[in-house]
Structure formats: C-alpha cells, structure tokens
Chains A and B, each alone.
Chain A
Amino acid sequence: MKRKPGERLAAIAPYLWLGLFFLFPFVLVLKLSLSDQALAMPPYAPQIDWSAGLAGIKRFLDALDFETYARLKSDDLYLVAYLSSLRFAAIGTILCLLVGYPIAHGMARCAPGRRNLLLLAVILPFWTSFLIRVYAWVAILKPEGLLNMALEAVGLPGLSLLNTPVSVYIGLVYCYLPFMVLPIYAVLERQDHSLLEAAADLGSPPWKTFWQVTFPLSLPGVAAGALLCFIPMVGEFVVPDLLGGAQTLMIGKTVWTEFFSNRDWPSASAVAVVLLLTLVIPIVLYQRQQAKALETGQ
C-alpha cells in the first residue's frame, strides 16, 4: 500500500516527538550519570573531543563508568530518600483516592448541566500557577496563618502544621486531586445507569450495589488516577520544599541539592535515572492491566 507523505509524517510524529523530547534528553542525563564530577565548566568530565574524530569519541566512551551508581549504593542517604518519597507518594495517592472518589462519584450522579459546572470547578485551579497555589498554602498553614487565625477566633488552640509531613500531604492532595478525580469521573460518567437499577431490582440495597457494581467497574479509572498521582508525587519537589521544611526528605529535593548546592551533576543524574527506572515498574504493570482490559472488552 502506498502512503501519502503527510500520512507517513502523521505515523512517525509520535516517535519523533518522543525521540526528541524524551529519549534524547534521557540519553544526555544517562551520559551525565556515567561521568565524573570535575572542577570545570561544565562541572563534569569527560568531554567529547570532537576534533580528534572517532578516536576522540572512543576515548570519551572509555572514560565513562558506573562509579557514581556505586556511590549511590554505598550512601544510605539516597535509599532513605527514595523510600521516603515512595511512602509520601503512596500515602498521598491513597488520600487523593479517598477524597477524590466521592467527588467524582457525586459529579457523575449530578444533572448534566450541573456536571459541567463542577467539572469546571475541578479544573479551575490550573488557571493559576502551581507555585503560587503552594505558596498560598504556606500562608494558610504557617503559625500566624489563616488556619490558626480561624481556630483562635473560635477559641481553639493553634496548630503548627507547616514544615511537618501533614502539610506535605495537604499540599500533595491539593495539587494532585484533579488527576485522581478526572479519570474516575470519566469512567463513572460512562457507566450504564441500568446496571444500578438491575442490581436494585435483584435485591441489592444502594450501599451494597456500590461495592458490588459501581466500584469494581470503576477500577480502570482508579488505576489511571492512582498512576497519574503517584508518579509525579514521587519526584515532587515544590510541595516538600515549600511545605515540608528541612527535615522532609524526598528524592526531588535530593536531586535539587546535588545539582545546585553540591554542583555534583553526575550524582544528580544518577539519582534521576534510578528514579525513572523505579517508576517504570508501575507503568508497565498498568500497561499490562490496560492491555488485558482491552482484550476482555471492558
């Protein structure tokens, strides 16, 4: 079959995009992680000596090694930071699910006119800068902030939430809630209402119908939402930095510190590469689940 040139371009466009904006930068980072720290500009070695031609490239490749990764392994700090990030992300995702599912469910049950309004309300925060919204939480949670003013006004003792894990969770849930709500809403909204009637008709009270029909059928949305929350949460930097204070250890902050404070670009890159490989696992699992779902026609 002969294809028009435009068609061919359309077919390779996604690959071109991924190659240019994902694969190429990733190769750069990978190369960086195999280099060594150096007191130079840029602060790493080796550099490719283009003037020496092929021999120069060969010399460059020979100088690359896994030394940085060995260092990551030997230093507990990195492992603790990874585990702490995964824990923050896992708990944050569960909290998002607990808050987001009822919201999505309520929206899907609304009259169509009201639904669009609520959908708009969920998306509305995206219209302001992420950074500003997180700063707003600083203003709310700080000791002399809005929350404590409100608590004082009704005669309750103040809370010191800022720079604690609690404020990190508040920030994570606040920032990633739409990513949980929207996929679940999309699944629930498509759900055939007659299934609920059929369940009721067969003797199932509404709360039982939720667990027997609504929830199992919404699992693809839950999986998509959990993935959309979990993955960026693991590498989150802004929320732990602004709301978590100095003692909150997350891998995003570690990368930042290595890169800008220690000027150790190879270590920062190695941390990022390991993070990426860790996150590939849930993505692959999700892909397999999706493929299975597609196969069974759900």
Chain B
Amino acid sequence: MNAKGGKAGRQRLNIGAVRSKFSPWTDPSAEPLVRFEGVVKRFDDHVAVNGVSLAIYPGEFFALLGPSGCGKTTLMRLLAGFETPDEGRITLAGQDLAGQPPHRRPVNMMFQSYALFPHLSVAQNIAFGLRQENLPKGEIEARVQQMLTLVKLELLARRKPHQLSGGQKQRVALARALAKRPKMLLLDEPLGALDKKLREETQFELMDIQQELNTTFLMVTHDQEEAMVLADRIAVMREGQIAQLGRPEELYEAPADRYVAEFLGDVNLFEAKVAKTAHPIASIMVPESDQALEVWDDDCPTAGSTVWLAVRPEKMRISLDPPAKGTVNVLAGEIWDIGYTGDWTNYVVELADGKLIRVARANASRVVERPIGWDDKVWVSFDPDAGVVLTR
C-alpha cells in the first residue's frame, strides 16, 4: 500500500477507465456539425441560456446534463427551432439556422412525452415525416418497414399508440424521429419514462442504433448515469451556462469545480488549506485530521490558499484495523450508517469532528472474515491520486 501511495512521485497515469478512439474535438481540422456561438435566450426577466458556445461533431453522441431549469432543454429547443435565440447564432453544417422555421430544419426530435399522434397507427406515425416530403408511396412504405425492423416493432405496425406499452411507445417515437434520416437526432430525456430495467436495456440499444446509422445524437437528460453510459461527451449545465464539458471519465475523475463533482456521482468534500507544495505532491490541512493530507498537486494553488479536496467514496478504503505506520491520508471514525445494495456496501462514517463521509466498497467476495457493523471504530484511507483538489 505504501509503495503505491508513497511520497515519491510516481508516473502519472491516464484518467478514467475507458479508451476511445473517437475524438474529433481534438482534431483542429475537423468541421463541427452544429455550432452554438454565444447563444443567449431570455424568458421575460429569466435568462434560460446565458452565453453558450459549443461545437458538436458529426457522428458524436452528445449529452446536455443538468438539473431541471438549467437551460438544457431550452438549448435543444433552440436548435430544433421551437425557440429563437435573443443573442448569438446557431449553425448546422456551416449554415446559419436563424429564420428557419422548425419544419424546414434537417433535425428531428424525440419528445420527452413521445408526442405520438393518437389518431394514427404505429406505421402512420413513422410515415408522418416522410409524407410531408411527398415521397413516392412505395418508398415511404419501404422506409417505414426498415424503421420498424430497426426498433423491432414489425408486428405492431397497425396498433394505435394507446395500445402500446411505455417501452414500445419510446421505440415508435425513436423510429419516427429517425425515419427522415435527419442530420441530427435530438433526444429529450429519452429514457426518462421507462422503468430501471427497461432503461438499461434501451440504453445499449440506443447506442447500437447510433453506431449503425452513424447519426449525430444530441441528448438532454438530468440522469448522470444515462449521460455517462451513452454519451461521447457531456456538457454539464448550471444556470444557463456550461459548467464543464468533456468525456464522461474526465467529468467524473477530474471535475472542474464542486458543482460538477457533486452533480456526477457521490463525493466527499473537505475544505482545506494548502500547507506546502513539493512537486508532485501537495500537503493540505483539513480540520478532520491533525495530520496533513497528501495529494497530487495538479492545479493546486500556492501555500495558504483555501481549496476543497474531493474524494469519491469508492476510492477510499475502510478497515477495522489501523493501517500500517507511514500510510498517508488516514482518517479515524465510527460507522454511522450502512447501506447494502448487493454489489456495493455504502458506509457512512462519522469522523472525529462529527463530519459524515461516505465510503463505498465493492462486495467482491461472498464471504468476509470480519464484517463491519454499526458503531464499529474504523480507519478510512486513500491514495494521493484518489482525490482532486478544487479551487471553486
């Protein structure tokens, strides 16, 4: 343990657990499909979108993530044409969208409520967009059939929406939005109305469909897990602005500030003072421990500054015995609460000064020698690279 987390700097590793070759945003010659440039949208005196600039690349699965009222849905509706920006501009494939009504924009949207036409059958719903283009009848039928196959609803083509389950309605909505082969598909909380199990299945199907059609997807969601599973990149939004933009693992492991750290997953935040910095390690003092904590000094300000240390529960270790002498970053406490979810056990530990922190442990084996119980005295420790120092 000591060898891994010792004071001597070790080689810096990559952030995250996922390796992706798809990263057009790092290529300066790549041409984005959609560009938001300083977009502002006000409703009366409320600023829903406050100066957002953003580029989405062809073939990307992009997610706008944030709590309700953060402006993510408004941003999507601006692109669909249901709202017009007060400032800034939106371009699609290099073309300014200003003045183009929704029915002329080459993007299609899957609505949160699905908005299926109740008086039309599944096949007629899917054909609706194609009929507006006055395509020959044979071609419409072929395209509808193709879409039904894609979402596996061939047998339900003649049903009316009210005869479908929630999951089936979701597929019809998806097929209808994809039938016109839009340059970009907009998904408004696509899985929000489904139950957990169906949501997980549908997530992977959605990814498969996106890969198969190679369409650019823009998704709005408040569900961080959904965004992380599906998206190539996520923009976390707060009060009409982008708080952080990056790959899911970048947002999770290297959040820009406390807001992002707390919005994505669980996190333990310690307010701290920087004691000294000796590259690559910084020593910081927290009120919960009389010993200085050792952390990587990325972006760590100079000694004396106030910072926050963010450590994810699963990156902490918990034990009933005091760790070996010389182990860094040890906090003593008492078990306050235990939440058992099968795959994980979440311990809430009360530290000496009464602060509660969360420690998560994967239940990697079925049997344990000494189970941890309520009111047990425990030691929590973590490696210098487990935490992130935040200045905001």
Contact = CB atoms under 8 A, between A and B. Distances in A.
Nearest to B102: A200
B23 interface: no
A198 B115 contact: yes
Interface string B101-140: 1111001110101011111000000001100110000000
A212 B124 CA distance: 11
A102 interface: no
Nearest to A213: B117
B102 A201 contact: yes
B132 A217 contact: no
B115 A197 contact: yes
A296 B132 CA distance: 26
Given A194-B113, A297-B162, A202 B108 contact: yes
Interface string A209-236: 0001100110000000000000000000
B101 A200 contact: yes
B119 A298 contact: yes
Contact of B115 (A195, A204, A208, A297): A195
B180 A203 contact: yes
A216 B119 contact: yes
B111 A194 contact: yes
Contact of A203 (B115, B118, B132): B132
A205 interface: yes
Given A203-B180, A298-B162, A197 B102 contact: yes
Nearest to B129: A202
B258 interface: no
Interface string A240-254: 000000000000000
B340 interface: no
Contacts of B180: 202-203
B259 interface: no
Contacts of A195: 115, 117
B83 to A, nearest CB: 11
B227 interface: no
A192 interface: yes
Contacts of A204: 103, 128, 132
Contacts of A213: 117
Nearest to A193: B115
A203 B129 contact: yes
Nearest to B160: A296
B312 interface: no
Nearest to A198: B115
A187 interface: no
A93 B71 CA distance: 47
A199 interface: yes
Determine the interface band of chain A, counting residues with CB < 8 A from chain B. 20 to 34
A204 B103 CA distance: 6
B113 A201 contact: no
B118 A298 contact: yes
Contacts of A216: 119
A200 B103 contact: yes
Contacts of A198: 109, 111, 115-117
Nearest to B162: A297
Nearest to A197: B82
A208 B119 CA distance: 16
Given A201-B80, A201-B108, A192 B113 contact: yes
* Centre residue among A194, A198, A200, A202 by max chain B CB count within 10 A: A202
B128 A202 contact: yes
B89 interface: no
A194 B188 CA distance: 12
Contacts of B35: none
B318 to A, nearest CB: 48
A217 B103 contact: no
B176 interface: yes
A205 B103 contact: yes
A292 B162 CA distance: 14
B111 A197 contact: yes
A195 B116 CA distance: 7
Contacts of A205: 101, 103
A199 B128 contact: yes
A296 B160 CA distance: 8
A201 B114 CA distance: 13
A204 B105 CA distance: 11
Contacts of B109: 197-198, 201
Shortest beta-carbon contacts, A-B, top 3: A202-B129, A203-B132, A198-B115
28 contacts: A192-B115, A194-B111, A194-B115, A195-B115, A197-B109, A198-B115, A198-B117, A200-B81, A200-B82, A200-B101, A200-B102, A200-B103, A201-B80, A201-B102, A201-B108, A202-B103, A202-B108, A202-B128, A202-B132, A202-B176, A203-B129, A203-B133, A203-B180, A205-B103, A208-B132, A213-B117, A217-B119, A296-B160
Given A203-B132, A203-B180, 8 more contacts: A192-B115, A198-B111, A199-B128, A200-B102, A201-B80, A204-B103, A204-B128, A298-B162
